[in-house]
Structure 1
Amino acid sequence: MATFAGTQQKCMACDKTVYLVDKLTADNRVFHKACFRCHHCKGTLKLSNYNSFEGVLYCRPHYDQLFKRTGSLDKSFEGKIAL
């Protein structure tokens, strides 16, 4: 009797098993297609329209907004100012 070995890869967003048909790899991390979302607006991302900073995924508009609003990528959306 044949057995299916399956996969042991887990989604970085939800920590559930990712099967080949639903697998998306970005920044050397594995996601479900549905879990590949912007941290700020929760919009679905594609490999052609995302950016990441310190492992956090953003759509291009929110990544740009984060950079322009703070003037630096080491500050958050919440407006916290690093002294």
Structure 2
Amino acid sequence: MEKIAADKYIFHKTCFCCKHCKKKLSMYSFTPLNGEFYCIFHYQQLFRRKGNYDEGFGRVQHKDRWLLKSKADEMPDESDA
């Protein structure tokens, strides 16, 4: 079997495919994002859908996580009362 090494992962040649469309990828036709691999077309399409790398790919935006954390830090503990 042939293998492909991409972004610290090793795949069978037939298993190296786009997460969105399942199209077989090559070393010249893929884009990694957070340990997942996309064909260039779908990577660009998913980015354009929401205009960022988080929401377009089904994740919560970093800025939203920061806002939630800062709100939690601002709330007083019940033990302080």
Is TM > 0.5 for Structure 1 vs Structure 2?
yes
What is the number of equivalent residue pairs in this alignment? 62
- Which of 18, 22, 29 is equivalent to 1:42? 22
**Residue in 2 that maps onto 1:73:** 53
**Residue in 2 that maps onto 1:24:** 4
Unpaired runs of 5+ residues, structure 2, are 65-81
Which secondary structure does the structure 1 equivalent of 2:38 belong to? strand
Q: Give RMSD over aligned pairs.
A: 1.8
**Residue in 2 that maps onto 1:63:** 43
Structure 1 stretches of 4+ moved >3 Å: 80-83
Which secondary structure does the structure 2 equivalent of 1:61 belong to? helix
User: What is the TM-score of this pair, normalised by structure 1?
Assistant: 0.66
Which structure: larger Rg? Answer: 2
The superposition leaves residues 50-76 of structure 1 with CA deviations (integer Å, 9 ceiling, x where unpaired) of 001111110000000011111000114
User: What is the TM-score of this pair, normalised by structure 2?
Assistant: 0.67
Unpaired runs of 5+ residues, structure 1, are 1-20
Name whichever structure is richer in helix by fraction: 2
Distance, in Å, in 2 between the alignment partners of 1:45 and 1:51 is 9
